Amino acid sequence: MRFLGINAIFHDPAAALVVDGKVVAAAEEERFNRRKHGKRPLPFSAWELPEQAAAWCLREAGIGPEDVDAVAYSYDPALVEQRPDGDWEDLRTRYAVRAPLFLSTALPGLDAARVRFVPHHIAHAASAGLASPWRDCAVLVCDGRGENVSHLAGRYTGGELEVLAAQPLPHSLGLMYEDVTEHLGFLRSCDEYKVMALASYGRPRFLEELRELVYATGDGGFHVTPIEWGGYAKALRKGEPWTDDHADLAASVQARLEEVLLDLARWLHERTGERRLALAGGVALNCVANTRLLAEGPFDEVWVQPAAGDSGTALGGALHLAQVHGEPAAPMSTAALGRGFTDEELGAWLDVARVPYTRPADLAAAVADELAADRLVAWFQGRSEYGPRALGHRSLLAHPGHAANTERLNDVKGREQFRPIAPMVLEDRAAAVFGRGPVPSPYMLFVHDVLPGWRERVPAVVHVDGTARVQTVSPAAEPLMARVLAEFEARTGLPVVVNTSLNTAGRPMVDDPRDALECFGSSPVEVLALGPYLIRRGEVFAS
């Protein structure tokens, strides 16, 4: 059977297609419409659907809208508490009620009667528990909000979900983190990862006060008292410089989030006795908290959905419907679920653009040469990643041995200088360089300590607190990138390469060849590896 998943109600609109229990395609609308996060998370944008992503998913499978057995819309308006007329939230609900009609209009041939409303946190839970490597596991979802709750705790047994706890709104750890994001001058529902990065520069000196305001309630839920952030640090406007007070506030909120998540995990473990935990929801993108959950929590293994934010509910909704219809989900083995292009298609793009290029006999060796010479390489290979992390398919690569490359890459991307850049490393070499975090770690969702002796050798990927957000690379799963890493180590003695997303500030990650060429042409990147082809800046502009 064929199940199409749709996320549209808040932010990160996305579509995913599951056929006979297997994920065939998944993509975020931002990669098509080129608007970061697809749209802003406002009630009056709730009508906007991931039309291009959904149409592409169907084309990828070679089917039309009329061939879909059911559509999962990852929000159930029937669960929303009624609000007085004129409330903006009421507008969001009105749009959600009409989603079947909107979808049948956007995808001609789709029967509106085939649309099913899947509760937001059930879709999140399915994206974790059903996509994980396990049939039996505990599942913890934590985000800003759904219809009427902000979290879910439960367990999957044989693919069936048992909900054990859910925290009613207005209490929300995700909204708390969004609030402090906005207070610190960043964009809420967008820049929360910047708060996590800034936290490493501060001390959690407000932690005791926050413990009185934010705490687990002992029944699987938690309490969040409205917080007057101005009592800790003045509100910042976008672009204003941060102070020690702002870094300390970020550190305090980050620490309290971690503590409450640990309390929730311990309660869940006591109730289930499970050894394994699957995570989803926007809070699960907090890789620092994930690492602490694994290191100090009661679970032996933790798996995090790579698209843990709202985009992942498209996948979770489709998997949930498949399970309901008796089609158990196959484990999610890769996040490379988006668009890909043949060598011939890529070559045609280059010919149309009249860009000079070469086709090296050994692309991995050629790219390793460029990296060893300290050149920045835009890397475009295979199918694009589903979720917010660049995982070696739409990446910007660099030499990790030069500390200046951190500032250099942040300048190229137009990012704040306090933000770290991440390393890639071969799976079997990771333990020699990094400690504490799990190995393998293919989705860059945990932090690792950079071991003594290596911090001076790979300074570009070492954050101020001595950690790095590592992606491990398996030769079986990623043979080309594995060869680049091996060739780079042969030339430099370093088993690590810098990996950050291939985009510039405020723009979504590069997705198709036009995006790659535009990014290459507008930023000081020396080399573009587009499929098997190599484009060098000097040759382009010399022509």
Q: Is 448 a catalytic residue?
A: no
Query: What count of Cα atoms within 13 Å lies in the side-chain half-sphere of residue 63?
Result: 19
Comparing CA positions, the residue from 110, 61, 508 lying closest to residue 311 is: 508
Count of beta carbons in the 10 Å neighbourhood of residue 205: 14
Q: Are the C-beta atoms of 363 and 529 separated by less than 8 Å?
A: yes
Cβ neighbors of 181 (< 8 A, separation 6 or more) are: 187, 188, 190, 191, 192, 194, 195
Residue 266 DSSP one-character state: H
Calculate the dihedral angle through the C-alpha atoms of 507, 512, 513, 514, rounding to the nearest 10 degrees: -50
**Secondary structure class of 307 (helix, strand, coil):** coil
- CA 247 – CA 52 distance, rounded (Å): 40
96, 194, 485 from 420: Cα distances, Å: 38, 10, 20
Q: Is 48 left (phi over 0), alpha (psi -120 to 50) or beta?
A: beta
Residue type, 169: L
Comparing CA positions, the residue from 519, 536, 525, 524 lying closest to residue 355 is: 536
Cβ-count burial of 471 within 10 angstroms (0-12 exposed, 13-18 middle, 19+ buried)?
Answer: buried
Cβ-count burial of 124 within 10 angstroms (0-12 exposed, 13-18 middle, 19+ buried)?
Answer: buried
Phi, psi dihedrals of residue 297, rounded to the nearest 5°: -80, 175
Active-site residue (options: 11, 121, 246, 463) = 11
- CA 281 – CA 41 distance, rounded (Å): 15
- C-alpha 294 chain-centroid distance: 19
- C-alpha 313 chain-centroid distance: 12
Strand partners, 139: 154, 278
116, 168, 382 from 74: Cα distances, Å: 9, 18, 28
- CA 134 – CA 300 distance, rounded (Å): 13
Residue reference for tokens 């498209």: 314
**Secondary structure class of 406 (helix, strand, coil):** helix
What is the set of active-site residues?
11
